[in-house]
């Protein structure tokens, strides 16, 4: 039987629900509350029937976006959040309790690192490991370990976790396996294929893609059986046990904690998501061309990019991500090239945080997003003082190469 491809499926997924007035594009629903003609129907929705009550728990607009993300991930269910951090907070705080143990990659997004610090204060034990080496994950497992967390490609060092072997370990030990798929996006990689239980995507990045809306999503792959997971409240132990975890994340994370995605950003993200495949292909192609160009440039000491043959996990990335390597580069400048001088000379590339925008963005990582954590933790995470993080956009390739060349050459000439 014919199966539609990635983009066809995403484009048409919101028509699987009724679309009002035959509108080709799903309308936006900013209503805070939803009324019913029959009070019994209202009660039924409160008691678990599909439908809407109060927008803190979702709207037709967030539901349409969730359907798109769920299709992308091949998941069993997806819940959206106000930001990627709200999605991660919901996973960790609703599923872990004081005395539980989490094994986490040591190469994580800076704000995730800070969030994990909060969890430590709340009494969750955490062991940080080099997740490029699955043996370290295995060695860190304790009797009270409940969950393993890793990103796919780490930012900004571009380390690629040993995702498949970690998945095997989690299955063998019956641990919840959480994968942050933000840097790869479901176009490059589906974590369900390596046994992930839950997948987090920051929708603010590649999926939304246009730097005009924040959002996050948690997708349940349906691979984890929550019946043996002690932290699920009695009220959520209903229906198939593979769905209990997501129910708890939604009830606690959205209804109780209120990290809800509003209709307007959800709508913008849903529109952006339609071109994920097109944009991502260009991000990847530009990033590979730029990485190869910079690798041999006298103004550059080292380029971190999984698409380069010399990258320590190049072969793994090629196998896992279908020979596509993402849009993020870490660039260490040569001695004598000042990172601020270099950045100030760029003309097209914008000096800004964020990644996954259509425009190319660059920042001095140690002095900005990784400043708060201090020198020692930066060293542990492999973040050099001269490291520039580049989020490669979808500009014309020759213009990007020209801009980097003129800025580096300008620095070398002094």
Ligand X SMILES: *Cc1c(COP(=O)(O)O)cnc(C)c1O
Q: In the complex, which residues of this chain contact ligand X (CB under 6 A)?
A: 83-85, 109, 112, 151, 155, 180, 182-183, 202, 204-205, 214, 216
To the nearest whole angstrom, how small is the minimum distance from the Cβ of residue 41 to ligand X? 35
Q: Name the minimum Å distance from CB 270 to ligand X.
A: 15
CA distances from 12 to 98, 186, 191, 193 (A): 44, 17, 23, 24
> Parallel, antiparallel, or unpaired: how do β-strands 387-391 and 328-333 relate?
antiparallel
Residue 300 or 331 having the CB closest to ligand X: 331
**Is 68:92 a contact under the CB 8 Å cutoff?**
no
- For 1-15, b where at least 16 C-beta lie within 10 A, e where not — what string? eeeeeeeeebeebbe
Q: Strands 145-151 and 176-180: what pairing?
A: parallel
Pairwise CA distance, residues 391 & 82, whole Å: 22
Within 10 A of 21 (CB to CB), how many other CB atoms are there?
Answer: 5
Residue pointed to by tokens 């995605």: 261
Q: How far is the CB of 361 from ligand X (least distance, A)?
A: 12
What whole-number distance in Å separates Cα of residue 302 and Cα of residue 312? Answer: 13
Instruction: Considering the complex, state which of residue 176 and residue 203 has its C-beta at the smaller distance from ligand X.
Output: 203
Cβ-proximal residues to 235 (8 Å cutoff; 6+ apart), any chain: 251
Q: Quote the least distance from Cβ 232 to ligand X, whole Å.
A: 25
Which residue minimizes CB distance to ligand X?
84
Min CB(214)–ligand X separation in Å = 5
Report the nearest approach of ligand X to the CB of residue 263 (Å). Answer: 17
Measured from the CB atom, is 162 or 403 closer to ligand X? Answer: 162
Q: CB of residue 113 vs ligand X: minimum separation in angstroms?
A: 10
Q: Considering beta carbons, is residue 112 or 219 the nearer one to ligand X?
A: 112
Cβ distance to ligand X smaller for residue 215 or 299: 215
Answer yes or no: are the C-beta atoms of 339 and 364 closer than 8 Å: yes
Nearer to ligand X, 81 or 236 (CB): 81
Q: Quick one: 58 or 326, whose CB is closer to ligand X?
A: 326
Distance (Å, whole) CA 136 – CA 253: 31
Side-chain-facing half-sphere of 267: CA atoms under 13 Å: 12
Q: How far is CA 234 from CA 89, 175, 229, in A?
A: 22, 20, 11
Q: Kindly state the smallest distance separating residue 154's Cβ from ligand X, in Å.
A: 8
Q: Which is nearer to ligand X, 204 or 286 (CB)?
A: 204
Alpha-carbon span 24 to 283, nearest angstrom: 29
Q: Reduced to 3 states, what is the DSSP secondary structure of residue 393?
A: coil
Q: Which is nearer to ligand X, 369 or 408 (CB)?
A: 369
Is omega for the bond preceding 63 within 30 degrees of 0, making it cis? Answer: no
C-alpha to C-alpha distance for 366 and 226, rounded to whole angstroms: 40
* Cα 356 from Cα 279, distance rounded (Å): 9
Q: How far is the CB of 205 from ligand X (least distance, A)?
A: 6
């Amino acid at each position: 039987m014919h199966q539609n491809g990635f983009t066809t499926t995403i484009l048409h997924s919101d028509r699987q629900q009724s679309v009002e007035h035959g509108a080709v594009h799903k309308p936006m629903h900013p209503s805070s509350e939803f009324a019913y003609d029959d009070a019994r129907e209202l009660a039924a929705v409160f008691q678990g029937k599909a439908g809407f009550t109060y927008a803190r728990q979702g709207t037709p607009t967030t539901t349409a976006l969730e359907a798109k993300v769920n299709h992308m991930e091949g998941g069993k269910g997806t819940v959206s959040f106000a930001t990627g951090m709200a999605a991660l907070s919901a996973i960790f705080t609703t599923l872990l309790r004081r005395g539980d143990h989490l094994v986490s990659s040591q190469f994580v997004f800076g704000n995730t690192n800070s969030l994990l610090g909060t969890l430590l204060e709340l009494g969750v034990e955490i062991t940080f490991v080099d997740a490029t080496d699955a043996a370290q994950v295995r060695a860190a497992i304790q009797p009270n370990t409940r969950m393993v967390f890793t990103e796919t490609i780490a930012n900004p060092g571009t380390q690629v976790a040993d995702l498949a072997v970690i998945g095997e370990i989690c299955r063998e030990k019956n641990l919840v396996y959480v994968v942050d798929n933000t840097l790869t996006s479901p176009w490059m990689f589906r974590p369900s294929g390596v046994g992930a239980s839950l997948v987090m995507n920051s929708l603010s990045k590649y999926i939304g893609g246009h730097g005009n809306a924040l959002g996050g999503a948690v997708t349940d792959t349906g691979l984890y059986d929550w019946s043996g997971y002690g932290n699920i409240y009695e009220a959520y132990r209903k229906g198939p046990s593979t769905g209990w975890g997501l129910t708890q994340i939604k009830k606690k994370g959205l209804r109780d904690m209120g990290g809800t995605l509003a209709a307007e950003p959800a709508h913008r993200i849903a529109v952006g998501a339609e071109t994920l495949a097109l944009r991502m292909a260009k991000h990847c192609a530009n990033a590979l061309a730029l990485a190869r160009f910079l690798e041999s440039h006298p103004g550059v000491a080292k380029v971190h990019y999984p698409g380069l043959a010399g990258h320590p996990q190049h072969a793994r990335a090629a196998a896992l991500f279908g020979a596509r390597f993402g849009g993020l580069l870490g660039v260490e400048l040569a001695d004598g090239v000042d990172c601020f001088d270099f950045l100030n000379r760029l003309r097209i590339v914008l000096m800004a945080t964020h990644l996954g925008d259509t425009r190319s963005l660059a920042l001095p990582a140690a002095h900005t997003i990784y400043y708060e954590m201090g020198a020692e933790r930066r060293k542990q995470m492999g973040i050099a003082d001269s490291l520039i993080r580049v989020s490669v956009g979808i500009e014309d390739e020759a213009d990007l190469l020209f801009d980097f060349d003129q800025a580096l050459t300008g620095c070398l000439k002094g």
